[in-house]
Amino acid sequence: MTGVAREDVSYLSDGDEIAAWFYPAGGDGPAPAIVFCPGFTGTRQAAFYQPYIERFVAAGYGVLLADYRGWGDSAGPKGEIVPLRQVADVRNGLGYLETRAGARLVFSMIANNYTAPNAAIDAIMERALTRIAERFP
């Protein structure tokens, strides 16, 4: 990506370390932040997520993009698709954003492909969610 800064970050989800990138919003002061959910087997390395992230950052949002547990660089049993575990990973990502200085959390999520139901479950479980967008083919 050109011109969009990112930080290597991590957080814990049920004892497993989740590898993530945080893209801070430009500008001064706290900014709203988004958890960007990759597809079931997607990882943060997928190039096709980057144009979306660039647009969110340009619009003034911070973005957290993580590898689900067991996928990409995250710890956990490799290659397992356990939707409720992914839901927990997203919820813990929301918790991580709450701890970041400069992130004014607006409990938003962007879901891709088959993680759209995960985001819907998170919306039900995490009553503080104010926005959810799903991109489903």
User: Looking at this protein, which amino acid is placed at residue 23?
Assistant: Y
Instruction: Find, among 36, 13, 6, the residue nearest to 113 by Cα.
Output: 36
Report how many helices (DSSP H) and strands (DSSP E) the chain contains, helices first: 3, 6
Span of 36-45, 75-84, 87-96, 119-128 with lowest mean pLDDT: 119-128
What CATH superfamily is the domain 7-135?
A: Alpha/Beta hydrolase fold, catalytic domain (3.40.50.1820)
Alpha-carbon dihedral sign for residues 4, 38, 78, 20: positive
Query: Residue 115 and residue 73: Cα distance in Å, rounded?
Result: 19
Q: What is the mean pLDDT of residues 1-29?
A: 88
pLDDT-derived band at 74 (thresholds 50, 70, 90) equals very high
Please give the DSSP secondary-structure letter assigned to residue 132: E
Q: Which residues contact 100 (CB under 8 A, 6 or more apart)?
A: 22, 33, 62
Residue given tokens 């990506």 in the structure block: 1
Nearest to 112 by CA among 11, 33, 41: 41
- In DSSP notation, 76-117 reads SSTT---HHHHHHHHHHHHHHHHH-TTEEEEEEEEEEGGGHH
Q: What is the mean pLDDT of residues 2-29?
A: 90
Looking at residue 26, its pLDDT comes to 77
Tell me what pLDDT residue 78 has. Answer: 93
Query: Mean pLDDT highest for which of 3-7, 10-14, 91-95, 129-133?
Result: 10-14
pTM (global) more than 0.85: no
Q: From CA 87, how far away is CA 96, in angstroms rounded?
A: 14
